[in-house]
Amino acid sequence: MSSGSSSFSQTSLGVDSDTLDSIATTATTPATPAESAEAVGLANAQLSQGRRRMLDLVNRLHETGVQIDIDLPQIAVIGNQSAGKSSLIESISGITLPRAAGTCTRCPTECSMSNSPTWKCIVSLRIMTDSTGQLLGEPRNEQFGPVILDKSEVEDRIRRAQRALLHPNIPRSRFLEENEGDIVDDPSAPTFSSNCVSLKISGPKIADLSFCDLPGLIRSSSGDGSVGDVEFVERLVESYIKKPSCIMLLAVSCETDFQNQGALQMAKRFDPNGERTVGVLTKPDRIPAGDEGRWVQFIRNEVPGYILSNSWYCVKQPNSVQLREGITWEQARAKEDEFFTMTSPWSDLDPMFQRYLRARNLVERLSRILSDLISKRLPEIHKELENSISITRGQLSELPKAPSRDPLSEITTLIVRFTSDLSRHLEGVPEKGGLLQAIRPAQVVFRKKIRRTAPNFKPFDESDAETRTLARPDFLDNEDEADDDMGEEVDVAENDPGDDSEDEADAIYIDEVLRQAQESRTRELPGNYPYIVQEGYIRQITDQWLEPAKALCDRVHVLVSEYVLRMVQVHFKDFGMGLLERQVRVIMQEHLKNRLEAAQSRIDWLFALETRPFTLNTHYMADYREKFMAYYKGARHEHSNTMLMQQINSYHPPTDPSSQEQSPVSKILSGLVQVGMYGVKATDLPKLLSDPMEPALDIMADVRAYFQVAYKRFTDNVPLAVDHELVRGLEKDMFDTITSQLRIYSEVDGLRICQELAEENPRTAGRREELSKKLERIQAASRELSRF
């Protein structure tokens, strides 16, 4: 692998040529030879002005905090504690950083440098998290003190800024205005912070470069930090360097065996192929005698397992004596040149490796690497931002609606919508799965059960039961077919025993009916039988009706309850923590219970009405009585008058009444007309025959005809009552019932109750806050990109 190659090669931005020219190839006025000789990296005026603009853009993107969500190009300076990171950064930036025994950097320090005619430095605090450690949406960038025009003031300002970040509860002004010794540290304050000190440095001979100095990794065995501090710093460093677009500027001290330096191992873990690591050897003047060759191998990029695509560099910083004497940045660079020029083995390196020595060459290389990476990443960042905005908005839209500032109005609106929607469904919606569609099968089952209570009269003696059968009356076919049509889509296997034929086990034979009539006679004249016989049979029938009616009511109650509770969930599930849904559920269940009791009471009343036979539908009953009388008589005479019944059953009215050839039945009907009996049909002829069982036939026809009247009345009235009291009756006072039970309009507790009901699930609230903050960051970044 070539020691000077870069994995972050410059690539096309993937935009039109005009835009590409404006970004990457717009040249400024050529610099003078002297200016070009002094300028470094992107500060060189011969490089594209568009590239410097890109660097500024990335710096502004960092200020939005979007690096949490998007992989932004960045240089992160990492190294072990006391690995010379501070001196390295001083050699790059030209400023002095705070120094102390052990760890000096207590929070990330972002440094953005640019070339300008005059020198100045602006120190800011970038607040990424709140007091609880939660990420803010868009970071707060607070300038910390006035603009610095004297380099000597920078170190003190940075130290104060770090203390201000570690003590967020102490006013910032105290750290700026008071003597540091007068401010007592809070014992509970953290040792490290993920919030940043931001430096904007501009001036002549300064490279256009940006980087982030991270706290040095603490050796857990050194005693310089607690276990918690060690883990915090490691997590903080990892959060930066794990991103693919982070260039690691790795500081490795030459005074310690490189195998024991944790930062080197961490860089190896996150960049095993060495594609985005720039290695920097520090403190080359402290290499033990005889070990120089081992470190020179790094510069030649020949150390197995530690070969880097962007090579290793070596810098020489001032020692402690020189620092105490106040050596300037220019003097330090001169001393560095002198060291590498005069000191072996560095001075003996081939010219091709000399370019990896000195801070100037390092800065030049970092500028180009960062520039190439930014050129490659900008179009990708644009797409990532757009995708992230779309995804985040979608995730926010999937969350329940945020709590209202006016919970009473919102709760009232929810209840109004719920009651209105439920009323619409109680009235009936023309769609599959509606409430009325769900109830209809239960109504059909109820009707069939009542119809099966019809008395199973047999117009022959019980002794003839094995030899005689009774055909189904054909005049009931239309009614039964209508009932069957109602149940076409009903699966009543559990409730319906089978066909609608009358149960032979419950057969009532004619001799039994006559015996019952004779035993019931009191003071009646001969040939007359008491009405109580018919009433008794009718009571036996209607006594069976209460259970199916209540079963219908209970089934409808279950269906309505399930339907209503589903609607409660639909309307209230996303409100608050679910307390409103649970309370409305309980209220509606109690309301349903009250309506059930009302419906059951109405059924009891309807059932009580049926205990005494009554009807004003005399024409309807008379018609059925006549039909059943003919039906029963016809069945009796089918055996005793076989020839007559055969003639009647095979009779067809003649097409030509004047024909001389007439059947016996036609002759009988003609004779009846001649004696003044008009309108007699062939099926009426059995009625003219005398029968000793005539009284029993009268009772049977009366009871069977009344059943047709009563059962139709009852099978209409019960579903109507259930619908009136339990279904449509549910919407009666529903809104007032819910609001009064919730007590949301109470003058004393109403506001408190509404606030409790509207309280949001902490997990949902946290998720909304997290997504909202993320959306703020990526939208702010998108705006910056749009301005560019």
327-338 pLDDT, tens digit each: 888 888 899 999
- Single-letter amino acid code for the residue at 166: L
For residues 27 and 48, the answer to whether their CB atoms sit within 8 Å is: yes
Q: Angle CA(166)–CA(167)–CA(171) in degrees, nearest 5? A: 135
Tens-place pLDDT, residues 683-721: 777 666 667 888 999 999 999 999 999 999 999 999 999
Which has more pLDDT, 738 or 259? Answer: 738
Q: Look at residue 655 and tell me whether its pLDDT is greater than 80.
A: no
Q: Classify domain 410-641+689-742 at the CATH topology level.
A: Four Helix Bundle (Hemerythrin (Met), subunit A) (1.20.120)
Q: Which two tokens stand for residue 92?
A: 């790059």
How many other CB atoms are there within 10 angstroms of residue 569's CB atom? 14
Whole-angstrom CA distances from 395 to 134, 391, 769, 772 are: 19, 6, 12, 10
Average pLDDT over residues 248-265: 88
Q: Which two tokens stand for residue 378?
A: 């900008």
| Dist CA 362 CA 182 (whole Å) | 41
Q: Which of 771, 774, 777 minimizes the C-alpha distance to 396?
A: 771
Q: Look at residue 40 and tell me whether its pLDDT is greater than 60.
A: no
According to DSSP, residue 290 is labeled T
> Percentage of residues in the chain with pLDDT exceeding 90?
42
**What pLDDT sits at residue 481?**
54
pLDDT-derived band at 512 (thresholds 50, 70, 90) equals very high
According to DSSP, residue 243 is labeled S
**What pLDDT sits at residue 3?**
39
For residues 728 and 439, the answer to whether their CB atoms sit within 8 Å is: no
**What pLDDT sits at residue 484?**
54
pLDDT-derived band at 53 (thresholds 50, 70, 90) equals confident
Q: Look at residue 671 and tell me whether its pLDDT is greater than 80.
A: no
pLDDT-derived band at 591 (thresholds 50, 70, 90) equals very high
| Weakest mean pLDDT among 77-86, 300-309, 443-452, 644-653 | 644-653
The mean pLDDT value of the chain amounts to 83
Average pLDDT over residues 58-80: 85
Q: Which of 91, 3, 607 minimizes the C-alpha distance to 332?
A: 91
Q: Which two tokens stand for residue 666?
A: 């036609």
Residue ranges of the domains in the chain?
Answer: 17-178+188-392, 410-641+689-742
**What pLDDT sits at residue 339?**
93
Average pLDDT over residues 550-579: 94
Q: Look at residue 253 and tell me whether its pLDDT is greater than 50.
A: yes
Got the DSSP string for 327-377? --HHHHHHHHHHHHHHSTTGGGS-HHHHTTBSHHHHHHHHHHHHHHHHHHH
pLDDT-derived band at 298 (thresholds 50, 70, 90) equals very high
Which has more pLDDT, 128 or 359? Answer: 359
**What pLDDT sits at residue 281?**
93
According to DSSP, residue 24 is labeled I
Architecture of domain 17-178+188-392: 3-Layer(aba) Sandwich (3.40)
Tens-place pLDDT, residues 178-209: 887 777 777 778 888 888 999 999 888 787 78
Tens-place pLDDT, residues 542-561: 999 999 999 999 999 999 99
Q: Look at residue 650 and tell me whether its pLDDT is greater than 80.
A: no
Average pLDDT over residues 367-384: 88
